């Protein structure tokens, strides 16, 4: 049985890992960040940047690769104070977009996380697994995105293709 889905392997994204208290990060990054999400495992976005609250005192800042220099200017990782960590991790992730009326079916097959809207809201983001591989699951307007470590990207692409046929 085939599924009504479109799976797309995305181009390289710019990603910066931010760790520290909200206060310390706001003191360091004076402007340019999206607002900090008001709940864990949620995202906010502004001006082409997305901010994911992925753990206590840990966020991922994500955008198109064309915005990486701007992100680095905003976060200044090379001179970050000792009370925060700012690490460029763009090359560490490969992203996939899963859209279509059966996108949830594919996520149900691949992932143990309850992704129903009542448990995983429209701006939901969480670490979980797909096909036993650690991933970041992101709810999007028309489906989901998943991010896996780049070394698992080809295997994930193969698994996704098999799951849709």
* Band of pLDDT at residue 165, cut at 50, 70 and 90: confident
Does the pTM surpass 0.85? The reply is: yes
Q: Which of 60, 38, 46, 31 is nearest to 127 (CA)?
A: 60
Largest CA distance in the chain: 54
Six-digit token string for 27: 């003191």
What domain range is 69 assigned to? 13-91
Q: Kindly report the CATH number assigned to the domain that includes residue 132.
A: 3.30.1360.120
For residues 43 and 97, state if they share a domain.
Answer: no
Q: Which of 61, 58, 57 is nearest to 14 (CA)?
A: 61
Residue 97: the pLDDT is 98
Express each pLDDT in 87-131 by its tens digit. Answer: 999 999 999 999 999 999 999 999 999 999 999 999 999 999 999
Residue 23 forms part of a structural domain: yes
Residue 1: the pLDDT is 57
For residues 40 and 69, state if they share a domain.
Answer: yes
Q: Kindly report the CATH number assigned to the domain that includes residue 44.
A: 3.30.70.1400
For residues 100 and 116, state if they share a domain.
Answer: yes
């Amino acid at each position: 049985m085939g599924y009504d889905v479109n799976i797309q392997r995305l181009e390289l994204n710019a990603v910066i890992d931010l760790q520290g208290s909200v206060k310390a990060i706001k003191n360091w990054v004076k402007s340019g960040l999206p607002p900090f999400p008001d709940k864990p495992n949620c995202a906010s976005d502004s001006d082409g940047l997305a901010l994911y609250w992925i753990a206590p005192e840990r966020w991922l800042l994500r955008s198109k690769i064309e915005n990486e220099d701007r992100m680095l200017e905003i976060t200044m990782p090379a001179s970050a104070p000792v009370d925060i960590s700012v690490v460029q991790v763009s090359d560490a992730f490969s992203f996939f977009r899963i859209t279509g009326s059966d996108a949830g079916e594919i996520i149900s097959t691949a992932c143990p996380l309850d992704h129903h809207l009542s448990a995983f809201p429209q701006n939901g983001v969480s670490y979980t697994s797909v096909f036993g591989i650690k991933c970041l699951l992101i709810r999007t307007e028309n489906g989901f995105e998943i991010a896996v470590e780049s070394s698992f990207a080809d295997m994930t692409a193969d698994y996704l293709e098999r799951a849709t046929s």
